[in-house]
Amino acid sequence: MFHKEGTVIIITTFIIISTLIIINNQFNYNLKTFINIFLILILILILQFFRNPEIKVNYDVDYLLSPVDGKIVIIEEVYEPEFFKDKRLQVSIFMSPINVHVTRYPMNGNIIFSKYHPGKYLVAWHPKSSTKNERTTIVLENEKFGKILYRQIAGKIARRIINYAKVGDQATQGEDAGFIKFGSRIDLFLPLNSKVNVKLNEVVKGGITVISSKKN
């Protein structure tokens, strides 16, 4: 199963690579097989990048779930300057090109803020990428967790952020909230007193791993 955002790229890549293989097969030289294998590998990489596997969402109103697959790279108190304008607990998840790049809503709630920012393309793990890179900021609110901000950040390779969150809509935990093409990062900003259920360098799964919990 592939994400709808990859449809055009997948079809275009398939046509180009198929054409190149057909042309390549018209010639007889030592590297022909190697080139065909290389072209097929490119197609496989594109297909795996846009995969959108079905998951069983770890649904629970007491859970704040990871919005994406990746690795925890930051857990620290920071000043959030765009929406809260105060100190928050930042939890950041880095996605490599081999991760599933679907963004999922981390909790149920009202979408009260959604804004796109053009910007630079620093490597996604750079400290300034959160405020300098191309990004979108989304804020969800519910009675259990209050206001939670998550930010989609484009990386050095990623050049296209897809965001489905619209102000006034209802977010459903685990549902598709967007997509970031080719390597990126997600920043979550939580209240300072939040109980964090993950640790640095932990590998997390979107819609499954519990980032924060209200359960005792």
How far apart CA 25 and CA 27 sit, in angstroms, is: 5
Q: Which of 27, 49, 71 is the last residue of a domain?
A: 49
pLDDT digits (tens, 9 = 90+) for 43-91: 888 887 777 788 899 999 999 999 999 999 999 999 999 999 999 999 9
Residues 45, 87: one domain?
Answer: no
Q: Please report, for residues 16, 22, 45, 59, the alpha-carbon distance to residue 36 in angstroms, rounded to integers and kept in the order given.
A: 12, 9, 14, 44
Q: How many domains in the chain? A: 2
Q: Give the domain range for residue 18.
A: 4-49
Dump the DSSP string for 146-204. EEEEEEEEE-SS--EEEE---TTPEE-TTSEEEEEESSEEEEEEE-TTPPB---TT-EE
CATH code of residue 199 = 2.70.70
Taking the model in full, what pTM does it have? 0.82
**pLDDT value, residue 150:** 95
Domain presence at residue 55: no
184 is catalytic: yes
Give the pLDDT band (50/70/90) at residue 108. Answer: very high
129 or 23, higher pLDDT: 23
**pLDDT value, residue 5:** 72
Residues 36, 124: one domain?
Answer: no
Residues 120, 201: one domain?
Answer: yes
Residues 124, 22: one domain?
Answer: no
Domain presence at residue 57: no
* Active-site residue identified among 92, 184, 194, 212: 184
- The two three-digit tokens of residue 53, written as one number: 């596997």
